[in-house]
Structure formats: structure tokens, C-alpha cells
Structure 1
Amino acid sequence: MTSFIKRPVAQIAYVVDDVRASARKMAQALGAGPFFIGESIPLAHCLYRGREMPLDHTNACGQWGDVMIELVQQNNDGPSAFRDMYPKGSEGMHHVATFVEDFDAEVARYAALGCEAANIATTEGGNIRFAYIDARPLCGHMIEFYQDSEVIRGFYKMVKDASLTWDGTNPIIER
């Protein structure tokens, strides 16, 4: 059995009320950035605890050393992995993320450990498949994993590469 800890943590994510304001704070306080904004990320489908449920969210992704920082703002009022931990108006650390080879096997492995998939979703066009596993019984927060692919790895590389030449000014990049 592969443990999560044997996979590198690629991302630390926070639920926030305003991704742009939070990105500016993270850039100033931590030197993280620059942050790429994904506005109302289009999803082809999204399951919340096994039921189809819309999820409208905006994110800001920036680099902090070797780890990506993701700031997530939920735009709709429906249930989600984000709202499971943070009601509207509250903020905090939400999940760590990694990549997996066999997505369905990983969902099943966590389920066997008593950690239900809070959300499973695929981006429009089917390019990125991801899950938020409710691992609070194990570690106090959610765990996100992506089906490993060139597309998601390319995005992570683009964010990291931008950080290498970033001078600390203009912490927000609209994409």
C-alpha cells in the first residue's frame, strides 16, 4: 500500500473570501507568488459526496519555495469540500495536494481508511481530474489529488517557472 507521505506534497491550499486580496497578503507576508487567477473554473461535472452538485470556485495559484500555494474562493452557496470545513465568511488552511497514477484506486484506498471523497470533479474538456478527500479523521484537513497528467504538471511548472524570475512586484496575473 502506498502511503500519502511517500508522495511529495505539491501544494498547500487555503479557503479565502477574496483570492486577490489574499494573494496580495501572501506575496507581502511570505514572498509567495506571483499568483495566477483562475476565475470561475469551468467544471464538466462535480460530485459532492456522491451526488452531482455544481461548484463555482475561483483560485489563485502561486509558488512559495518548492510548494505551490492555492487560494480558493467558493462563488456559489452549495455544499462542497470547502464549505465542509469553512462556512461562508471564514478562512483557513484546507488541503494539501499531490498527484496519483491510479485515481480510482486512490479514491477506494482512502474510502477503506474511512475517508470519503467530499468532491470529485473534472474540468471542462476533461483535462484535469481531481478529488478532495475528507481526511480530517486522519490528519485534520482535506487531501486533494490529481490524476497525474502532462496538463496538470505543465500548469505546476508554469507557476514555478514564473516565480523564478518574479521580482516581487505585481503579485497577481489574470489568466
Structure 2
Amino acid sequence: MTRLIAGRPIRQIAYFVPDVEQAALAHVATFGSGPYYVAEHIPLSLCLYRGAPAELDHSSAYGQWGDIMVEYVQQNNPGPSCFHDIYPEGSGRQGMHHVALIVEDLKADMARFEAAGHEAALYAEVAPGVGFAMMDCVATLGHFVELYEPTPQLLGVYDLVRSSAQGFDGSDPIRRFTIA
């Protein structure tokens, strides 16, 4: 496992929650993080759950906490998913779900994780060819590892969240945006 992650900074820590906005507001109040950018019902042009076509309707809130981005994610539709793998549907459970790494070659890194016994629980694309993967590292790390490439769109979101956090005084803690 170490050779898969060593030398790569964790760019994000993500939590599965029932309500991304409430979770973000609680984090702002407790830790002074933020502001949080909320994207509702993020469209996916492709979604594979453990290799099979699937539906995933999810919303996320992204904020900055020191040097790391925090994401809160909620699943809006019923059914199996990498989120429900750890937090079963209807259980009311929530908590840490994944950390994210930016990789230069998504397919090659997915293959490296899979060769080490960590299958892709989710492969999805927000636009054709702009994908991300949730690698199942639960047995060894207790959580998933998300992989994605440094596309201009992705880096733009990271830059927006980080720059908005500079001088953040707690006002206007929830901001809306779309991921298209």
C-alpha cells in the first residue's frame, strides 16, 4: 500500500454525511474552515459501480481547512454505491470516507491499485474522458482512496476553494456553484 501513496500529497479528506450544508456549517463553527462551495446533484456522464453501470446522484460541499480541502458528500438516491459500502443505506451512519490524490495518469494508477488488490468501487466521469475513481482500500486503510487527474476544471475548483479561504471571516459560509 505504501508504494501506491508514498510521495503523493493527500489533497482532500472527505466525509459521507446526510446533509452537506449542515456538515459544512458545523465545520465552520467548530474549526473556522471555509467557506464551503456546494454543488448539488452533480451530473455524471458515466458511472460504474464495481464495474457495472449504476446511477449515482450526489451533492458535495468543498471547503479549505488549513492546507487541505475538506469535502462533505451525500448520496441523494437509493441503491448500492461506494458510499453505502461503508455507511449502509438507512443506517444513519456517517463519517470519514476517502482521501484524494491527484495523479498524472488515472487509468495507469487505477491499474496499479487493482494489481495490489484494491479494486475500483466507483469509476465515474463528470464529462466524457474527465473521470475519477474510488479505489477500495477499506480493508487496509479503513477508507477509500479517490484518484483524479489534474484537469484545468479540477485545478480551478481547488484554486477557488483555497483562494476564498484566505481572509475568510466566517461570513457567507455557504456558496453555491455547479460542476458541469
Give yes or no for TM over 0.5.
yes
Name which of 125, 139, 146 aligns with 1:144: 146
- Look up the match of 1:106: 109
Mapped contact 2:100–2:147 kept (Cα < 8 A): yes
Number of corresponding residues: 174
How big is each residue's C-alpha offset from its partner over 1:51-107, in whole Å with a ceiling of 9 and x where there is no partner? 010100000000000100000000001211111001232100000001111111111
- Look up the match of 1:80: 81
Q: What does 1:41-120 align with in structure 2 at a 5 Å threshold?
A: 41-88=42-89, 89-120=92-123
Provide the identity percentage.
Answer: 45
How far off its partner does 1:48 sit? 0.1
The alignment yields a C-alpha RMSD, in angstroms, of 1.4
Unaligned residue ranges in structure 1 (runs of 5+)? none
- Look up the match of 1:7: 8
2:100 is paired with a residue whose SS is strand
How far off its partner does 1:148 sit? 2.0
Unaligned residue ranges in structure 2 (runs of 5+)? none
How far off its partner does 1:14 sit? 0.1
How far off its partner does 1:127 sit? 6.9
How big is each residue's C-alpha offset from its partner over 1:138-172, in whole Å with a ceiling of 9 and x where there is no partner? 21110001122121111101100000032112210
2:98 is paired with a residue whose SS is strand
Structure 1 runs of 4+ with >2 Å offset: 125-128
Structure 1: distance between partners of 2:163 and 2:14? 19
Letter in 2 for 1:149: T
